[in-house]
Chain A
Amino acid sequence: MSQQRKAVALISGGLDSLLAARVMLEQGIHVEGINFFTGFCVEGHTHAIRKQDKSKPKRNNALWSAEQLGIKLHIIDIVEEYKDVLINPKHGYGKNMNPCLDCKIFMVNKAKQWAEENDFDFIITGEVIGQRPMSQRKDTMPVVSRESGADDRLLRPLCAQNLPETLPEKEGWVKRDELFGFSGRNRKPQMALAKKYGFEDYAKPAGGCCFLTDESYSAKLVDLWDARGTREYEMDDIMLLKVGRHIRPAPHYKLIIGREDGENKFLQGYKNNFITFKTMDCPGPLTLLDGVATDKDLELAAQISARFSQGRDKDSVTIEARRTNGDTTTLVVKPMPASEINPEWYV
């Protein structure tokens, strides 16, 4: 009997990677999944922070995919290494701050290393030609294979018939005529295949599974880099960009204003890192001040914060400003009328 070949599958949690892995299982390949956590994944974080989402049962779609497939899943933390991909993408950014092509190359390269360390024969992805404008074009597919170093050990089962033969096909480990030739943005072939395999409740994220493709998130990231004069970032920075309203009344400071209880509670956890503001005489948001602030800035920040409290129509609201060392100042301020908040302050 011939040796059972092993493939490592990049599992994003979306339908395409689920199908690609399923197609391989169908051909008798041993498949294990690998999922990379960049820090910008939509999975998890916001569900946990925003209170309103807690009523919906939350699931990690990569884990869900692996369970459907009956395969192991290895989740790899690449937060640190990913910084260089995001800060210096050789192939540039997509529509927003998404460095998709460099990101794909990086992930396939990591998967290749994993495959070598664990004695796996090849790598599979759910890529489909023409599905995405940057990383999944006919001309960029070979770039990913080449620059990741995976070369002909990278197989895309869903569009393999449109691409040159790869090693697993040449060696007869997989049958090329049982792979697919999907292309373009039409999702119908994938949906039909999902139906055939009995996958029903698969993830259909409206905005993709990565915050970097989100316009508003990308604007906040660029604003943060500009304000700091450096592109370096930490996990806390990228988490905070997912939470609250961001208002920058002056170049040297920004306010992050909680929009509901879950966010307020989350922001409260940063009270020893940032100046915080909370309303004392009416329900209101928890606000963080990121940057340096004069007394005048504190006053303005309190007025803006009061604007988003339930005391917004009162003559005055009492706000406690707390410094990171625990010292507090009580400010009695007139909530800033909505019309006075410069629209350009919104990040």
Chain B
Amino acid sequence: MSHFELDARRMFCPMPVIRTQDKIKELNTGDTLEVVSTDPGALNDIPAWCRINGHKVIETRDADDEVFILIEVCDV
């Protein structure tokens, strides 16, 4: 189980969602991924994508015009 980070700054939705989706394809069950985005829409869209596709959002937060979404990759 490893931790990964994805820099999706200066992109607008749905690009952060697409990048998250593509990154998760490369990861294994149990890995965690923290996505950083400057589009606040990512706070809705990435968790929605995770709900649909069966991955778990562990935490979301925003600070200094950036939003952070921590995801656990689940077995789907």
CA distance A67 to B50 in the complex (A): 10
> Quick check: is A47 within 8 A (CB to CB) of the other chain?
yes
CA distance A250 to B10 in the complex (A): 31
Contact yes or no, A44 B39, CB < 8 A: yes
Contact yes or no, B52 A73, CB < 8 A: yes
Contact yes or no, B10 A58, CB < 8 A: no
- Expressed in whole angstroms, the minimum distance between the Cβ of A110 and any Cβ of chain B is 14
CA distance A269 to B12 in the complex (A): 13
Q: Which of B13-21, B28-36, B56-64 contacts A (4 or more CB under 8 A)?
A: B13-21
Contact yes or no, B48 A67, CB < 8 A: yes
Contact yes or no, A75 B14, CB < 8 A: yes
Majority-rule SS of B interface residues: helix
Q: Please tell me which one of the listed residues B10, B18, B41, B53 contacts residue A77 in the complex, with CB atoms under 8 A apart.
A: B18
- Expressed in whole angstroms, the minimum distance between the Cβ of B19 and any Cβ of chain A is 9
Q: Among A57, A64, A75, which residue has the most Cβ atoms of chain B within 10 A?
A: A75
Q: Which residues of A contact B3 (CB under 8 A)?
A: none
- Expressed in whole angstroms, the minimum distance between the Cβ of B10 and any Cβ of chain A is 7
Q: Which residues of B contact A37 (CB under 8 A)?
A: 14-15, 18
> Quick check: is B45 within 8 A (CB to CB) of the other chain?
yes
9 CB contacts below 8 A, A to B, read A48-B12, A49-B12, A60-B17, A60-B44, A60-B48, A63-B17, A63-B45, A72-B53, A269-B10
Q: Which residues of A contact B (CB under 8 A)?
A: 35, 37, 41, 43-45, 47-49, 54, 57-60, 62-64, 66-67, 71-77, 239, 269
